[in-house]
């Protein structure tokens, strides 16, 4: 029996190799102001992307001593992206300023064009389009300072997507 405490980590024993390569790519096309960095740097700043659930707003009514349920309209899908940022908060300040400035614009003039791809690293980096559409930036979270990881700060942005169903 091998002594696990003095041997290689379990994932190496199982023949696994872990990498930090992204299996997704995001393209944002803002209309108010350009992103503060190029797309490769922007994608390197993304920690995760939460593709929206498809759900409805259920209608419920109490009738005849019983609850009656019926499917309602589809809920607007929300895309959430978590970013890490540098010490000067350039990405965080960009999204925060965009959220404030979009109050002054027309709906069609403030939307982000959004494309999310999954990347299959096994087959020559082929990309599959997962989301393509437009979205309204609806929220920028507060900053989370975390000493246990190597990023300086992280935050999340949320977009309500249109024409996704």
Instruction: Tell me the CATH number at 124.
Output: 2.30.110
Q: Is pLDDT of 41 > 50? A: yes
Q: Is pLDDT of 21 > 80? A: no
pLDDT above 90 as % of the chain: 19
Provide the sign of the torsion angle of the four alpha carbons 95, 84, 125, 40, taken in this order.
positive
Instruction: Please indicate, yes or no, if residue 51 is contained in any of the structural domains.
Output: yes
Instruction: Please indicate, yes or no, if residue 47 is contained in any of the structural domains.
Output: yes
pTM: 0.73
* Containing structural domain, residue 143: 16-162
Structure tokens, 112: 């982000």
Count structural domains, the chain.
1
Range scoring the smallest mean pLDDT among 10-24, 54-68, 117-131: 10-24
Instruction: Please indicate, yes or no, if residue 128 is contained in any of the structural domains.
Output: yes
Mean pLDDT of 73-84: 88
Instruction: Please indicate, yes or no, if residue 4 is contained in any of the structural domains.
Output: no
Answer yes or no: are the C-beta atoms of 50 and 26 closer than 8 Å: no
DSSP 144: B
Which of 136, 138, 134, 154 shows the shortest CA–CA distance to 146?
154
Which of 126, 121, 131 shows the shortest CA–CA distance to 161?
131
Instruction: Please indicate, yes or no, if residue 61 is contained in any of the structural domains.
Output: yes
């Amino acid at each position: 029996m091998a002594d696990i405490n003095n041997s290689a980590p379990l994932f190496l024993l199982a023949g696994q190799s872990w990498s930090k390569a992204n299996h997704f790519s995001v393209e944002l096309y803002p209309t108010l102001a350009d992103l503060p960095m190029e797309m490769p740097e922007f994608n390197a700043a993304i920690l995760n992307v939460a593709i929206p659930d498809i759900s409805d707003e259920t209608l419920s009514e109490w009738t005849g001593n019983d609850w009656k349920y019926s499917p309602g309209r589809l809920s607007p899908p929300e895309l959430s992206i978590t970013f890490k940022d540098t010490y000067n908060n350039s990405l965080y300040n960009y999204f925060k300023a965009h959220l404030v400035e979009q109050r002054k614009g027309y709906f069609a003039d403030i939307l982000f064009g959004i494309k999310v791809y999954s990347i299959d690293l096994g087959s020559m980096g082929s990309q599959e389009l997962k989301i393509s559409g437009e979205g309204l930036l609806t929220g920028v979270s507060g900053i989370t300072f975390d000493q246990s990881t190597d990023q300086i700060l992280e935050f999340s942005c949320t977009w309500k997507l249109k024409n996704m169903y």
